[in-house]
Amino acid sequence: MATTRSSSIRVLVVDDSALYRQAICNILRTEPEIEVVGLAGDGVDALEKIQALDPDILTLDVRMPDMDGIQVLREMNRRGMRPKAIMVSSHTSEGAQVTTDALLEGAFDFILKPSGANLEENRRTLRDALREKIGAFHDSRRPRAAPRRSNSARAPTADASAYVQRSMGVGQRCQAVLIATSTGGPAALKEVLPQLPGDLDVPVLIVQHMPARYTSALAGRLDQMCALTVKEARDGMRLEAGLALLAPGGRQMRFSRHAGTVLARVTDSPPENGCRPSADYMFRAASAAFDGAVLCVVLTGMGRDGFLGCEESKAAGAAILAQDEDSATVYGMPKAVVEGGLADRVLPLVHIGRAITHHVKSNRT
């Protein structure tokens, strides 16, 4: 990250615990590219200081009295306030649900409050999490590259219908849709999945980088918004048309085929790319289970998870769809796929759901 003053990230720390406020503040003040512009002990104070101090980002405690983190975020959205929020969540089920709601409302990302007894280890864990998330935010602020008109994968902006109607592979079978995402993913899934019809005649399989508990909360919220049935995957679940399965946090998802039926298998296989669930793991397993007759969709997220899985899947006959740079919260995962020459289409988020539906209906055997 850059260390000049002009590129510094202005942070407001919001937490009802004076101990946590100071702990986060102390960590951030050791980072030369970060300027802590203020502290707030509750939601009302936070809104006042956002208005007065104009931070770039705030660390926002999920659970606070009177006005909790999600209420602050919704009020920020209502007022059109520009800062992004990194939610600071507990490991509890209640914390998972509120954090998930915040991510669906557009929070940038979240970190978990360390819960161990070793104070020094807790500090390192908190420091590493803050560095990672604020580093991703820093990367997301870099100037967007000018559109490359020679890249045929990029759809023209003049005719939205052309985005959807152009096939990614005429005659290519599609027996499953695979979606991978990370930072910014819950809000992206909230945009894409409700566009898919309930009678979509293939299963949808999703990897969202999240820990345990959080994927269950996310699946529940998405199910309420979608015509599809959305569930967190359990071992032995049968893959069916119109069913979207979200890989469980902290586990891997693969598949097995028995007498024409494909089952989800939830495993404790090691992380890949530091991720569990991993998109590479899921893409590879699904492509094998469906003999390459899949559509791989890579949405916003930091890192390169999904690239190798797309590479293997494309070699087996899969089609690849990636989110474009301008609509991605963090252009990491889709960038790897696009710059690796794997993407058949590169689309704005708003058109991806309809493009998926068109591809499935046009390429079904």
pLDDT of residue 363: 77
- In sign, the C-alpha dihedral spanning 308, 189, 176, 210 is positive
Q: How do the pLDDT tens digits run along the chain, 365 residues long?
A: 433 334 789 999 999 999 999 999 999 999 888 999 999 999 999 999 999 999 999 999 988 888 988 999 999 999 999 899 999 987 767 778 888 999 999 899 999 888 777 888 888 999 999 999 998 898 887 665 554 433 434 444 434 455 555 555 545 689 999 999 999 999 999 999 999 999 999 999 999 999 988 999 999 999 999 999 999 999 999 999 999 999 999 999 999 998 889 999 999 999 999 999 999 999 999 999 999 999 999 999 999 999 999 999 999 999 999 999 999 999 999 999 999 999 999 999 999 999 999 999 987 65
pTM: 0.89
What does residue 112 show for φ and ψ, rounded to 5 degrees?
A: -100, 135
Closest to 16 in 3D by CA, of 49, 54, 46: 46
Distance from C-alpha of 62 to C-alpha of 49, rounded to nearest angstrom: 18
Distance from C-alpha of 264 to C-alpha of 255, rounded to nearest angstrom: 5
16, containing H or E segment: none
Q: Which of 8, 89, 140, 182 is catalytic?
A: 182
Is 182 marked active-site?
yes
Contacts for 268 with CB less than 8 Å, ≥ 6 apart: 251, 252
**Terminal CA-CA length for the chain:** 49
Is 138 marked active-site?
no
Is 362 marked active-site?
no
Q: Which of 138, 209, 351, 359 is catalytic?
A: 209
Instruction: Name the token pair of 123.
Output: 């500090």
DSSP helix, strand, coil percent of the chain (3-state; round to 5): 40, 20, 40
In the chain, the domains with their CATH numbers are 7-140 (3.40.50.2300), 163-362 (3.40.50.180)
Q: Which of 56, 305, 324, 344 is catalytic?
A: 305
Tell me which DSSP letter residue 237 carries.
Answer: P
Q: Is 150 exposed, middle or buried (0-12, 13-18, 19+ CB in 10 A)?
A: exposed
Tell me which DSSP letter residue 8 carries.
Answer: P
